[in-house]
Chains A and B, each alone.
Chain A
């Protein structure tokens, strides 16, 4: 096998040193009746060149978005990714290390996490961030559980405008611990939750209220409405945010959020069919910080007085507190967090603002162009950022199939989420005016 360096001669020598004749003698503790007596039924091994061919063949059966133009979003976004990122995260010292258990020889990973934590704090306006979670959805579920533990209450209030897959993840996590869920309907005209929606909730039992900003439809929620009920009832305000939108929008910290989570894919990570990305998780105040799930890096000094970094506040974690840990998370998405940190460093203060600005302008441009087409309308009136919903008496699946021939992957038909006739478009800075115009013209030809 190509990755096994042991020679026949060495193998013999090792067996001899153990006083056994054959490898099988090392497996005698496995009861005979459960040992396999045939080879695993798997394909014959491929040489590297054959493996590359096999993967190329599989890849060619996928319609990739380098050769097509896509307006898909809904949690996974086609943003520009600076070249330097893949070269830096490809360095073996990052790629082939594990959790930095020995700080003396893992300062590279530790410092990069410390910087990542700082960057997330800058975006969110929170005091502390952990080293990453699996994705935005599971980070939100953990935030809801943390709110329950912190408030000793067992009701979580979710907006109906939350991404449906995130809602499913949160629901499963909460049901497993018998936490109740109440839903806030969104207003059909604006597409966002308003004060009316807050009326039928037993707030005194609520551990937290969640708001997704922008929401699943790309619309901006009035966070003040959520903050008000949270403040009055002692529930925590949990915000699930899109990191790119924070280039323009008020930080959750300014809005009074207690816990902020989100998915960091759009920060320099490939779409990769939905993963891996990273979940970010930030909070504020000593009490809540000590309840955070996941790894956290802190600054300290070594015996010579040189500043360095270590994993800290570890007593929250499973390897110490076992069933009383704040979460079971162990491996996280460190390399993806590193990509996010490099992305934010490359973009910098001005560049990051440009990304948000261009998304906003291009999305608005496309929205206006689409609304020029007879029969299409915008069902929601709230302001939007990078995504928006269009409505019309159109079979959007059919439209997408037809336009695929022209190299377009259209928007996301919302029929699968129970909203026939509606489609969710996402327009990032990676789209050009030409692409938008061509799509709109083709669409007009198709449905007019």
Chain B
């Protein structure tokens, strides 16, 4: 039976002998392959790649792209992911051959512009975070977490306190936090949230102890709320000999307004693809640099860039933990973040955060009468509603509301996260959306609440207008088909 597909697979377009690219003719004298490589190393048949023309490839991927929602297509209020506009000039400037076509092992003298960019960006991220030294090596936020925890571990070990093996994490934290802890062998100790959605300080007091290596905190947290007790929390952890790690996933709320360093944090990672405008690329590449306080600079992965007179040079920190990735990280990604900072300046970054926070509060305020708002207080750059009322009163679940939003041309918010909220709907509007978009989205959310009441079936059977209807995820997981095979 042939499968019905929206767009055929590239393999299904293949015809023997067709090709989409031709190399220049070989201009060196040829030697039979088996004289260079013994035949036992060689494969009998080249890999069965598709045989298609350039036009077919262009059309194939153009057709695929049209099945996809992106920030360029429409509103994308995916909480915790900061889906803002990605300026096109960043694509231009980072594809200059002077950046795109340089090799990581070129002599330093021949890449001074790249080193200067790394140096400047490292400095600027230190300014924004209120901390001291930066590594740009981590390739994503979770990679930054891993790096930061490795630095934490190196610090304790150097002090002869290698026994410290517990990291305290709020129950509302991103899943990457506990997963990163596990990757450095740290035990996760979960601290509950209080009735205001913040860390329960009394509970925290009972969890801090001689084995505490540190605390990981997102502030504002995943509920979009700023933890007002941060001073007390920092003091508690520091007094116990632990370090404070700032998960910068939500840094879009605080640029130019408050700095993690001033809040008492010792290590911070930024998600440059969230806060600093670099495109998300369908899942990556991101960049997850970490910035640390003075005492921890010695442990950073190397190399980092130093300035000696007018010259920039790679140096390895004195007690560097080593490397978390080859070369210098996702250079062309963080070059875009550098462009973003250069376009905004100090005042501009502050305005970004102010606007993001204003947008979120504006929306929250206009929705809280129709969706339950579990923590009714001023939010930061995002807020979390609950679909509890709709579930209890009309049997419409958050998943249904999310799917119904697709019918109206929006990407859904983040749903069922954080787990401390039942039927969570996490909305992050970002600062780059015009007010008209926010108003339209508010209107649609209100309409869906009404539909849930008057015509719940319409919502529970959504989406109706998307390229595909709901997909059978159980089937995909039970009998995984993870690749195409020739029939």
A195 in contact (CB, < 8 A): no
Do A350 and B51 touch across chains, with their CB atoms under 8 A apart? yes
Q: Which of A59, A306, A335 contacts B281 (CB 8 A)?
A: A335
Q: Which of A36, A134, A220, A404 contacts B259 (CB 8 A)?
A: A36
Given A173-B324, A322-B178, 9 more pairs with CB closer than 8 A: A60-B113, A107-B468, A248-B37, A276-B331, A328-B183, A334-B281, A335-B282, A347-B19, A361-B31
> Which among A36, A121, A178 has the highest number of chain B CB atoms within 10 Å?
A36
Do A313 and B477 touch across chains, with their CB atoms under 8 A apart? yes
A251 in contact (CB, < 8 A): yes
Do A102 and B69 touch across chains, with their CB atoms under 8 A apart? yes
Q: Mark A303-335, 1 if CB is under 8 A from B, else 0.
A: 111111110111101111111110111111111
Chain A contacts for B354, CB-based, 8 A: 23, 26
Given that A111-B7, A271-B100, A348-B49 are contacting pairs, would A400 and B107 also be in contact in the complex, using a CB cutoff of 8 Å? yes
Interface residue stretch chosen among A86-94, A181-189, A202-210, A230-238: A86-94
User: B318 to nearest A CB, angstroms?
Assistant: 16
A254 in contact (CB, < 8 A): yes
A29 in contact (CB, < 8 A): yes
Do A107 and B28 touch across chains, with their CB atoms under 8 A apart? no
Do A272 and B331 touch across chains, with their CB atoms under 8 A apart? yes
Do B179 and A271 touch across chains, with their CB atoms under 8 A apart? no
Q: Which of B66, B92, B332, B473 contacts A310 (CB 8 A)?
A: B473
B67 in contact (CB, < 8 A): yes
Chain A contacts for B64, CB-based, 8 A: 107-109, 111-112
Do B41 and A220 touch across chains, with their CB atoms under 8 A apart? yes
A418 in contact (CB, < 8 A): no
User: A415 to nearest B CB, angstroms?
Assistant: 12
Do B86 and A270 touch across chains, with their CB atoms under 8 A apart? no
User: A17 to nearest B CB, angstroms?
Assistant: 6
Do B46 and A349 touch across chains, with their CB atoms under 8 A apart? yes
Given that A348-B19, A360-B37 are contacting pairs, would A308 and B102 also be in contact in the complex, using a CB cutoff of 8 Å? no
Chain A contacts for B466, CB-based, 8 A: 104-105
Do A331 and B85 touch across chains, with their CB atoms under 8 A apart? no
CA distance A97 to B67 in the complex (A): 11
Interface size for B (C-beta < 8 A) is 204
Do A289 and B434 touch across chains, with their CB atoms under 8 A apart? no
Do B469 and A303 touch across chains, with their CB atoms under 8 A apart? yes
Q: Which of A42, A129, A361 contacts B30 (CB 8 A)?
A: A361
A176 in contact (CB, < 8 A): yes
Interface residue stretch chosen among B204-212, B385-393, B479-487: B479-487
Do B106 and A72 touch across chains, with their CB atoms under 8 A apart? yes
Chain B contacts for A153, CB-based, 8 A: none
CA distance A145 to B141 in the complex (A): 20
Q: Which of A28, A106, A115 contacts B378 (CB 8 A)?
A: A28
CA distance A289 to B479 in the complex (A): 12
Q: Of residues 437 to 486 in B, which have CB atoms within 8 Å of A's CB atoms? A: 463, 466-473, 475-477, 480-484
Do B68 and A93 touch across chains, with their CB atoms under 8 A apart? yes
Do B68 and A27 touch across chains, with their CB atoms under 8 A apart? no
